[in-house]
Chains A and B, each alone.
Chain A
Amino acid sequence: MDVFFNLTLNGLATGMLIFLLAAGLTLIFGLMDVLNFAHGGLFAWGAYSGTWLYATTGSFIIGILGAVVTGLILGLITERVIIKPVYGNHVQQILITLGLMLVLSELLKVVWGPNQLSATAPDFLKGSFEVGGVIIIKYRLFIIAVGLLVFFAVQYVLKNTKIGLVVRAGVMNKEMVQALGINIKKVFMLVFMVGSGMAALSGVLLGPYSGVIHAEMGMEFAILAFIVVVIGGMGSFPGSILAAILVGLSGSFMAYYVPDLALAANMLLMAIVLIFRPQGLFGWKG
């Protein structure tokens, strides 16, 4: 029972991190039809800048905020300089964002060196407590809380504000939104920045969770995020959190019982979804 509970918690925490990454991907895809292969690079930049800020200032909060700001700025630059010239051309988009991924992760090595950095949780999140004989690690709970907070905040904005309305309408039919006199390009930029900020947040939260950060982890997590986006449905925000939790849980349970097949299990899940429901569990775009 103890093991089961711990694995569930672990899976939920990993799921939340993947969700933060995948949510940005899926929103950007749904709205602008761009699949950002550099998303993992933004994630890694968030991890490095946040961990570095935390180490130099000593404040975890500043680290997190710094990472999010880094994500927002990089997102802005990416959208303006890299994505904007190639809107509408899928092949070019895919190629150019992968090129950006390459440049981002190499730049990371230029700035912080090619070795991995170690990251620890701040004192108030260290350690664990016991509830009814089950040991709960504080930091995992913290990740789950942050993930849920972001989910509900974004969900609230999408459902209850004007900008959210525009985004949801844009996902359905962007020409129509534009015809109604709304500058959708501005909305694109905003969504891209928020998505990048979420990726960076996910990166900085991962640091203390795994203990070390390295430049290659961007790609590793991006692959999981892609799997989540396919399973949840491209463009579906609620789909991304459910699929992320599914992938996180399957990853953590498989890693405990049959560690060699953890990734294979998720791939199998994706293959099944692709065969029977290519638009994803919650999506409608194929």
Chain B
Amino acid sequence: MGGRGEKKVKSIFVQRKNIVYTIIAILLILFPFMNDSRSMMILFTQVFIFAIFAMSYDLLLGFTGIVSFGHAMFFGIGAYAVGIFMKQFEPTLPYFLLAVVITILITAIVSYVVGLLTLRLKSHFYAMLTLAFASLFLVLAEKWRTLTHGNDGFTFRTPEIFRDRLDFYLICLVSMIVVFLLLNRFTNSPLGKVLQAIRENEQRTESLGYSVIQYKIIASVVSGVLAGFAGILYSVSLRFVNTSVFTMDITLDALLMTIIGGVGTLIGAIIGAGLIEFAHHWLTELAKVHWIFERWIIFFGIIYILVVMFFPRGIVGTVRNIKLKSKKRVTDKSEQQKAAG
């Protein structure tokens, strides 16, 4: 009985969702023309960049069920690649594109090797090994002083088109939308369905004849490359890069954003990114009122633990569940009435 009704509900649901997304996207494009607060624009730019990062993380955690604790390394590779190219060579577009290509190559190779080493083992191994690899990159960035200037980092100039804040805002927004659409297509493709099958039941997927490890490696490579892209945008937005891009804090940001926003939903990662970045902005300002706000991350740590325990699908997943349930009740009722009438 439920089959057709559910489909209908879903298609209405999807349509309405798409309209809402389009409206939000248009509002975000118009936002800088209506509001000329510079700090707000920079904050939004930051949200877009971290949304890309969080979506790339969600591909692993939410869609494939792989936990990585070293996602910062891909972010850092991108950030340093563009910084080093702009500093050592000229801040022109060709060199920037070269840096992008190098980032894609390195992140793809690193994620492939790490995946190959550990993805055939239990999930703990990938989490541990990525954690260790990220700390290796952090040490590398600290020690290779001639290239990275160690802990202090370095500033660099960016190509002409990235210098204007408004242009850069739009570039980041468009990048985020493109990544969202691409990942949406990717996760709904047959390949993406296999990834989700792995998340739900690995043994079963394996016994259906899929080579699970290969699919997992593909997911980890795609995710790593996208994280590297986010890193590129991040360091271009700051025109500065230091070792902080490789630290655990960056990975934790992605984790908090994805978990609190909602795993397995790309929009959740975007909402999470907005939430965390804005909270960071407001709560740091509150630090003048009381010093406890200096440690604002503690609140998010506790919220994160509670979400993992009680709402494992995050904000978006929980809201979606409630909505689907109430919709279903409505359709069930109307179909009952139809049957009765």
Chain A positions near chain B (C-beta within 8 angstroms): 29, 35, 37, 82, 85-86, 90-92, 94-96, 98-100, 102-103, 106-107, 109-110, 219-220, 223, 226-227, 229-230, 234, 260, 263-264, 267, 270-271, 274-275, 278, 286
Contacts and interface: CB of A to CB of B under 8 A. Distances in A.
B117 A226 contact: no
Given A94-B67, A106-B295, A110-B295, A286 B135 contact: no
A109 B123 contact: no
A66 to B, nearest CB: 24
A230 B122 contact: no
A109 B291 CA distance: 11
Given A263-B136, A278-B125, 10 more contacts: A37-B127, A86-B308, A99-B301, A102-B301, A103-B301, A220-B135, A229-B128, A267-B132, A270-B132, A286-B122
A35 B69 CA distance: 13
Nearest to A262: B139
B168 interface: no
A271 B125 CA distance: 11
B131 A223 contact: yes
A110 B139 CA distance: 27
A275 B301 contact: no
B302 interface: yes
B121 interface: yes
B132 A35 contact: no
Contact of A99 (B121, B128, B308, B312): B308
Contact of B124 (A86, A94, A264, A270): A94
Contact of B121 (A92, A94, A220, A278): A278
Interface of B is mostly: helix
B301 A267 contact: no
B128 A226 contact: yes
B108 interface: no
Interface in B33-69: 61, 65, 67, 69
Contacts of A264: 136, 139
Contacts of A100: 301, 305
B69 A37 contact: yes
Nearest to B138: A263
Most buried by A among B133, B298, B302: B298
Given A96-B309, A107-B298, A102 B132 contact: no
B127 A103 contact: no
Interface of A is mostly: helix
Nearest to A278: B121
Given A110-B292, A286-B122, A274 B131 contact: no
A263 B135 contact: yes
Given A35-B127, A90-B123, A110-B292, A98 B255 contact: yes
B259 interface: yes
Given A90-B123, A91-B67, A286-B121, A96 B135 contact: no
A92 B248 contact: no
29 contacts: A29-B124, A82-B305, A86-B308, A86-B309, A90-B122, A90-B123, A91-B67, A92-B308, A92-B309, A94-B123, A95-B255, A95-B308, A96-B308, A99-B255, A99-B304, A100-B301, A110-B292, A110-B295, A219-B135, A223-B131, A223-B132, A226-B132, A263-B135, A264-B136, A270-B129, A270-B132, A274-B121, A275-B117, A286-B122
A129 to B, nearest CB: 35
Most buried by B among A82, A85, A103, A270: A103
A153 B302 CA distance: 37
Contacts of B136: 263-264, 267
Given A94-B123, A95-B259, A264-B136, A102 B129 contact: no
B143 interface: yes
* 7 closest A-B pairs by CB: A103-B301, A106-B298, A102-B301, A35-B124, A99-B305, A226-B128, A99-B304
A230 B302 contact: no
Interface in B98-127: 117-118, 120-125, 127
Interface string B14-38: 0000000000000000000000000
Contact of A85 (B121, B122, B124, B309): B309
